[in-house]
Amino acid sequence: MVTKPLTNRIDWVDYAKGICIVLVVMMHSTLGVEKAAGSISWLHGFIDWARPFRMPDFFMISGLFLASSIDKPWRDYLDSKVFHFLYFYVLWLFLQTMFKACLVCGLDGAIDASKVFLTGFIEPFGTLWFIYLLPIFFVTVKALRKVPPFIMFFAGALLLSARIDTGWLLIDEFASRFVYFYVGFWLAKYIFAFAAEIGAKPIAAIFAGLVIWGFGNYQMVQSGFSVLPGFSLVLGLIGACAVVSTGVLLSKFKVAEALRYCGQNSIVIYLSFFLFMATSRTILLKLLPHFDLGLISLIVTASGVIGPILLFWLTRNTKLSFLFKRPAWAKLAKTLERWHSPHYVKQLHIKAR
DSSP state letter for 81: I
> How many Å apart are CA 273 and CA 303, to the nearest integer?
8
Rounded Cα–Cα distance for residues 163 and 236 (Å): 15
> pLDDT tens digit string along 226-251?
989 899 999 999 999 999 999 999 99
Report the run of H or E that residue 8 belongs to, with start and end.
none
Kindly report the pTM of this predicted structure: 0.88
Using CA atoms, how far residue 55 sits from 23, 51, 190, 283, in Å, is: 9, 8, 20, 29
- For residue 300, give every residue at least 6 positions away whose Cβ sits within 8 Å of its Cβ, in sequence order, or none: 29, 30, 32, 33, 277, 280, 281, 284
Report the percent of the chain where pLDDT is more than 70. Answer: 89
Map out the domains of the chain as residue ranges.
11-352
pLDDT digit string, tens, across residues 255-313: 789 999 999 999 999 999 999 999 999 999 999 988 999 999 999 999 999 999 999 99
Q: Name the average pLDDT for the chain.
A: 89
Give the residue ranges of the chain where pLDDT is below 70: 1-8, 102-111, 333-353
